[in-house]
Amino acid sequence: MHALSKLEARRGIWATETEVPRVGPNDLLIKIKKSSICGTDVHIYNWDEWAQKTIPVPMVVGHEYVGVVAGMGSEVRGFSLGDRVSGEGHITCGHCRNCRAGRRHLCRNTLGVGVNRQGSFAEYLVLPAFNAFKLPDDIPDDIAAIFDPFGNAVHTALTFDLVGEDVLITGAGPIGVMAAAVAKHVGARNVVITDVNDYRLELARKMGVTRAVNVAHEDLWQVAKDELDMHEGFDVGLEMSGNGAAFSQMIKVMNNGGKVALLGIPSGDVKIDWNEVIFKMLTIKGIYGREMFETWYKMAALIQSGLDLTPVITHHYPIADFQKGFDAMLTGQSGKVILDWEA
């Protein structure tokens, strides 16, 4: 089968031919229709320090996709050939205490599709059937292809009650802008998003934020006070940049009793003013992945109730032009990039 693989321990990703993986008794064989490129795939492409110590070479990467069930193991129940699916990219062990308690997202032995095992930039993916999510017919393929990062946005955005609240999102990358759209959709009062990249801030505006602020040349708190009549601070913060300066800024503008969910992954140590945390009695919670599988059901319901994610998909290419897709991601002038296996 055709696949995109990290064939060599250097910058790049390459088209290759490889064996269709073996389908175990509890697995689905999924024929991929569309793939989407994740920031993680860009780390792997760039062969940064994290990728070098994490990714075995050669490795078929990728974990954002929509496809159809093309085969299944003898023990699989609940799926039929032809079912349209996306899938949870965190493969959990099923035997640690958290798994046994139903808290699969907290499994200590999680393996990542396209990180620790063969991924979905391929004609076929083999996935434990447990991880597959059967898609309702009214979820379009493009949207289904981005369910993995949409799930990060939904998991983070719905961690704290947003209804009627003033919400600050730092980082208008694809996940930040999707979280902003979710926050608006579920009834937040003001949704303010920050970035230093005007392309991304424009994307956030298309997704319906109250105000997109370029913190490189605007004063966030001044904007909140003068334009939005906010005088006390933000109720909920969603950190989605991984940038330490953004996190420190967020802590400063939170109201007393504010709640902060942290999704962005910093590349090194981040200094924060603990006095702000203590005297404001802030709650800070780290977020990893998606809840299995509550986040997936919520994603489907959000789309079915009219949440529009289409502006976040900015580029489409046939799989043969995958390099153009990676180039678009590398410029920072993109939202989600979709690669089509059938084009």
Nearest distance in Å: CB 156, ligand NAD: 8
In angstroms, the CA 266 to CA 250 distance is: 15
- Among this protein's residues, is 310 annotated catalytic? no
107 is in an annotated binding site: yes
The option from ligand NAD, Zn ion, none interacting with 337 (CB < 5 to 8 A, set by class) reads none
Q: Which is nearer to Zn ion, 26 or 333 (CB)?
A: 26
106 binds Zn ion (CB under 5 A): no
Asked whether 35 and 120 are in contact (CB, 8 A), the reply is yes
Closest of 4, 39, 8 to residue 330, by C-alpha: 39
Burial of 208 (0-12, 13-18, 19+ CB in 10 A): middle
In angstroms, the CA 270 to CA 268 distance is: 6
DSSP structural state of residue 233 = -
Q: Which is nearer to ligand NAD, 119 or 264 (CB)?
A: 264
- Among this protein's residues, is 43 annotated catalytic? yes
The option from Zn ion, ligand NAD, none interacting with 265 (CB < 5 to 8 A, set by class) reads ligand NAD
The option from Zn ion, ligand NAD, none interacting with 194 (CB < 5 to 8 A, set by class) reads ligand NAD
Burial of 305 (0-12, 13-18, 19+ CB in 10 A): exposed
CA terminus-to-terminus distance, the chain: 16
Burial of 168 (0-12, 13-18, 19+ CB in 10 A): buried
158 is in an annotated binding site: no
Residues binding ligand NAD (CB under 6 A): 39, 152, 170-176, 194-197, 200, 215, 240-243, 245-246, 263-265, 287-289
H or E stretch at 306: none
Asked whether 234 and 255 are in contact (CB, 8 A), the reply is yes
Residues in contact with 12: Cβ distance below 8 Å, sequence separation at least 6, in sequence order: 45, 47
Catalytic residue (one of 40, 110, 170, 210): 40
Nearest distance in Å: CB 241, ligand NAD: 3
Burial of 95 (0-12, 13-18, 19+ CB in 10 A): exposed
Which residue's CB comes closest to Zn ion? Answer: 107
H or E stretch at 19: none
The option from Zn ion, ligand NAD, none interacting with 93 (CB < 5 to 8 A, set by class) reads Zn ion
99 is in an annotated binding site: yes
200 is in an annotated binding site: yes
Nearest distance in Å: CB 100, Zn ion: 8
Nearest distance in Å: CB 249, ligand NAD: 7
Among 7, 15, 93, 186, binds Zn ion (CB under 5 A): 93
226 is in an annotated binding site: no
Asked whether 210 and 229 are in contact (CB, 8 A), the reply is no
Q: Which is nearer to Zn ion, 52 or 109 (CB)?
A: 109
DSSP structural state of residue 113 = B
Task: Please give the full DSSP string across 112-160, using - where no structure is assigned.
Answer: EBTTTB--SSBSEEEEEGGGEEEPPTTS-HHHHHTHHHHHHHHHHHTSS
195 is in an annotated binding site: yes
92 binds Zn ion (CB under 5 A): yes
The option from ligand NAD, Zn ion, none interacting with 263 (CB < 5 to 8 A, set by class) reads ligand NAD
Contact stretch for Zn ion (CB under 5 A) within 62-70, 106-114, 235-243, 311-319: 106-114
Residue in the block written with tokens 């303010």: 192
* Annotated binding-site members for Zn(2+): 38, 63-64, 93, 96, 99, 107
Instruction: Enumerate the active-site residues.
Output: 40, 43
Instruction: Pick out the residues of the known binding site for NAD(+).
Output: 175, 195, 200, 263-265, 287-288
* Interaction site with Zn ion (CB under 5 A): 92-93, 96, 99, 107, 109
